[in-house]
Structure 1
Amino acid sequence: MRQEELRRLLADAAEDVRLSRPASTGWERARRVRRTRRTAAAVAVAVALLTGGTALALRPAEPPPAPATTATPARSPIPNPVPVLTPPADLAYPGDPLGRLGDPVTAALSARPVRRALALYQPVDPASGVEGRIRVLGDDGFVRELDVVTPARTRDAGGNYAVPLKTGSLSPDGRTAAFAQTGEVIVVDLTTAAVRRHPIEGYLEQVLWAGDRLLVGDDDTTYEVDRATGTARKLPVSPWDMVTPDPTARTGTMLSVGGPQAGLVLTRWSADGAQRAHWPLDFRALPRGNTVDEFYGRGWQRGDLVARAGWLTTGNTGSLEGVALLNASTGVVTHLLNLGRDHGKGCCEVLGWDRDGGVLLRYDSGGLLRWRPETGEVTGVVRVLYGEVSLAAG
């Protein structure tokens, strides 16, 4: 240690024990120490504030708090249907008002008219082919016999006969029945049992209702019948391929679905029978190899959907009975119901739609099925019901 540093150290030490004015010296040193400490503390605080403010300015903003949410129970989605469906091997029969179609007759229509009919049924003996009298199932659950008229069998120009009850005979409101006959059409008011006959030349076989419009047809001509006057006008629409329209639609337009196997088409007609547009049916929405070879029976419309029976090909298997569902605005076939083989020819004719969006159809000649395209569910309606059926459905 150098001499100057030793001298300064001895001077400081001597100052601490100096006896002159010791109290004032001590207080002065104490003030210097406190002042030094306060200055150091202030500097420390300033440094801390400066550092913290800089960090705060550079830090990204906090995200706003998430709004409060209220938990809601999850909804079960409607299952997506498979485009090509087959009914279950064991059909369930959950019960249905139409299940009483096979009940015994309890009254004659003339004695007990209906407020509204749910269906018409003409039994046919499966062994002999002989048909019985037409029956009327009312919305009260009772079965009447149509006793006020006995329609004859229909026939075509080639001499082929068929029972008079057709799938389109019953009006959508269930209040009126119509029967095509050779040379006339018979109209029955089921609420009063009154009968009217309108003469129309030709071998009339087809009958259907377009809302409250009555249409009948022979082999190649469709007529619209004015029920007030009995006059008929021709419409250039095939009576075989014409679709029964949705009874709730008020547009007056009509559809037909059919054509040769190589060119199935959907055609739209105006109310006066003028052709507006047509589209080839489009099967690209179905799995590859699935198509309709030929249609049969009546097509039925509900909203933008049309259901019609036909012979199908699925994969490498053809000549299958089934039902096709197509979009009435685009011609796209969206679903097929494959009912297989081992049925009578034309086993599975569509009879219409129910109010819940189910397609009602025959299953062989001995029963009725309901197909719900939205869910793919197929259930039984009537187990055994040989004969012809017409429903208040459309």
Structure 2
Amino acid sequence: MRDGDLRQLLTLAAEDVRPSQPAAAAWERAHRVRRTRRAVGAVAVAVVLVAGGTTLALRPGGRPAPVAPATATANPVPSASPVQRPPDQLTYSGGPLARLAGPPSTSLSARPVHRAVALYQPVDPNTGAAGGIRVLGDDGVVRNLDVVTLGPTRDAAGNEATALKSGNLSPDGRLAAFAQTDEVVVVDLTTAAVRRYPLAGYLEHVLWAGDRLLVGDDDTVYEVDPSTGATEKVPGVSPWDVVTPDPGNGSGVLLTLTGVEQGLTLSRWTSNDVGTQRLDFRALPAGNRVDEFYGRGWQRGDEVARAGWLTTGTTSGVEGVAVVNGETGIVTRLLDLGREGRSKGCCEVLGWDADGGVLLRYSAGGLIRWQPETGAVTGVLAELPGQVALAW
């Protein structure tokens, strides 16, 4: 085996497994990479034995020596500024999500999906009236969600919101869950089957943590088995602040981002422990920070992206997005979207794509993509008023 071939195999062995869309593909890729790593390790050891004529003695319980990853020969791309801004003018690529703006061409009951790419509930920007939920399949066909009638969510004070929110679609695009007062509704998008599970409370939020389903209101969060309806309470966790976990991470740890201004904290929730730390802004230039978060946070690897109100330089109350390291609590990137012409809480994060881009809301209900590592900001859709949930 030539040196170049060995370096290529060792490089493959050291590669990280990145979450991909859908979640099912991430698990399959992870299994493939683990198998490849074992095979590459065996080849590497064999080459060392042949080249050096060394005989290795196996010791019971011993672990193999770690193989150092090959050093990349290409020069690294310079890191982008920690505080970034979109260009003055954006061009919009459209793509498959643009089909959501048009009327459905069929119904879910007539044509279930193999997997859904997105859910969309249009909202009239003038009247606030919400329309029916649409399902975009991976075949590019938009369906009307006709198998269930959903009302708005409401709190104890009577405040209402759309049934669809960013966390409703499962990572693999096969299930959708909807919080309703005193129940949660689970729709199998591949069969159009509907299951209703009674739960007490003014339920407003659902969140998929892998194949776990969290449902909650201001007072209580439940973990629900989406197949059987078996339920248990998750004490102490706020449904407003729970971060959607990386679908490729089966650790069971839940992250929350809470607080305002000097009291912003990151907490890591496990089955028997809670660890809390203050957010660290020292990686940002002086005078830049997050004042308060809103919307759903989304995790990819160790990084969490969430929208919030920022202070950049001497200007506070700026709309934007932060990237936080979920292990250390360090805020590594800010996207400053400014205040001019923006409604309060305009720019909710909708998730990550497979290439490390953050998808988020923008002016007039449009969608944009932000690449924190490079600072690139590109348009996806110029206008899509309403609520969107993406599989990832």
Q: TM-score, normalised by structure 1?
A: 0.79
Provide the C-alpha distance between the structure 2 equivalents of 1:77 and 1:94, rounded to a whole number of angstroms.
28
Q: Does the CA contact (< 8 Å) of 1:365 and 1:385 recur in 2?
A: yes
Residue in 1 that maps onto 2:328 = 330
Provide the C-alpha distance between the structure 1 equivalents of 2:75 and 2:260, rounded to a whole number of angstroms.
43
Q: Does the CA contact (< 8 Å) of 1:366 and 1:386 recur in 2?
A: yes
Give, as a single letter, the amino acid of the residue that structure 1 aligns with 2:265: V
Residue in 2 that maps onto 1:249 = 249
Provide the C-alpha distance between the structure 2 equivalents of 1:374 and 1:260, rounded to a whole number of angstroms.
26
Q: Deviations over 1:82-110 (max 9, x none)?
A: 10001011112234322322132110010
> By how many angstroms is 1:365 displaced?
4.5
Q: Deviations over 1:30-81 (max 9, x none)?
A: xxxxxxxxxxxxxxxxxxxxxxxxxxxxxxxxxxxxxxxxxxxx84642311
Seen in structure 2, the aligned counterparts of structure 1 residues 141 and 79 have a Cα distance that, compared at 3 Å, is: farther
> By how many angstroms is 1:134 displaced?
0.1
Residue in 2 that maps onto 1:261 = 261
Q: Deviations over 1:197-221 (max 9, x none)?
A: 0000000001110001000101132
> By how many angstroms is 1:136 displaced?
0.4
Give, as a single letter, the amino acid of the residue that structure 2 aligns with 1:310: G
Provide the C-alpha distance between the structure 1 equivalents of 2:260 and 2:157, rounded to a whole number of angstroms.
21
Provide the C-alpha distance between the structure 2 equivalents of 1:245 and 1:319, rounded to a whole number of angstroms.
28
Give, as a single letter, the amino acid of the residue that structure 1 aligns with 2:317: S
1:284 matched to 2:282? The reply is yes
Give, as a single letter, the amino acid of the residue that structure 2 aligns with 1:382: L
Aligned partner of residue 181 in structure 2, secondary structure: strand
Give, as a single letter, the amino acid of the residue that structure 2 aligns with 1:294: E
Residue in 2 that maps onto 1:198 = 197
Residue in 2 that maps onto 1:383 = 382
Residue in 1 that maps onto 2:90 = 91
Provide the C-alpha distance between the structure 2 equivalents of 1:275 and 1:205, rounded to a whole number of angstroms.
26
Kindly report which structure 2 residues correspond to 1:180-329, keeping only aligned pairs within 5 A, or say none.
Answer: 180-236=179-235, 237-270=237-270, 272=271, 274-329=272-327
Kindly report which structure 2 residues correspond to 1:98-247, keeping only aligned pairs within 5 A, or say none.
Answer: 98-236=97-235, 237-247=237-247
Aligned partner of residue 262 in structure 1, secondary structure: helix
Aligned partner of residue 101 in structure 1, secondary structure: helix
Provide the C-alpha distance between the structure 1 equivalents of 2:78 and 2:382, rounded to a whole number of angstroms.
27
Provide the C-alpha distance between the structure 2 equivalents of 1:94 and 1:123, rounded to a whole number of angstroms.
20
Q: TM-score, normalised by structure 2?
A: 0.79
Give, as a single letter, the amino acid of the residue that structure 2 aligns with 1:368: L
Provide the C-alpha distance between the structure 2 equivalents of 1:275 and 1:122, rounded to a whole number of angstroms.
38
Q: Does the CA contact (< 8 Å) of 1:365 and 1:387 recur in 2?
A: no
Q: Deviations over 1:289-339 (max 9, x none)?
A: 001110000100000000000000011101110000010000000000001
Aligned partner of residue 120 in structure 2, secondary structure: strand
> By how many angstroms is 1:258 displaced?
1.3
Residue in 2 that maps onto 1:19 = none
Provide the C-alpha distance between the structure 1 equivalents of 2:173 and 2:382, rounded to a whole number of angstroms.
23
Provide the C-alpha distance between the structure 1 equivalents of 2:220 and 2:361, rounded to a whole number of angstroms.
26
Q: Which runs of 5+ in 2 are unaligned?
A: 1-72
Aligned partner of residue 164 in structure 1, secondary structure: coil
Q: Does the CA contact (< 8 Å) of 2:93 and 2:381 recur in 1?
A: no
Q: Deviations over 1:106-137 (max 9, x none)?
A: 10010011111110000000111001000001
Aligned partner of residue 267 in structure 2, secondary structure: strand
Provide the C-alpha distance between the structure 2 equivalents of 1:304 and 1:348, rounded to a whole number of angstroms.
22
> By how many angstroms is 1:259 displaced?
1.6
Larger Rg: 1
Give, as a single letter, the amino acid of the residue that structure 2 aligns with 1:340: G
RMSD of aligned Cα (Å): 1.4
Provide the C-alpha distance between the structure 2 equivalents of 1:77 and 1:228, rounded to a whole number of angstroms.
46
Q: Does the CA contact (< 8 Å) of 1:307 and 1:324 recur in 2?
A: yes
Identity of aligned residues (%): 66
Residue in 1 that maps onto 2:346 = 347
Give, as a single letter, the amino acid of the residue that structure 1 aligns with 2:282: R
Provide the C-alpha distance between the structure 2 equivalents of 1:76 and 1:91, rounded to a whole number of angstroms.
30
Provide the C-alpha distance between the structure 1 equivalents of 2:95 and 2:331, rounded to a whole number of angstroms.
29
> By how many angstroms is 1:168 displaced?
0.2
Seen in structure 2, the aligned counterparts of structure 1 residues 365 and 152 have a Cα distance that, compared at 3 Å, is: farther
Provide the C-alpha distance between the structure 2 equivalents of 1:161 and 1:261, rounded to a whole number of angstroms.
28
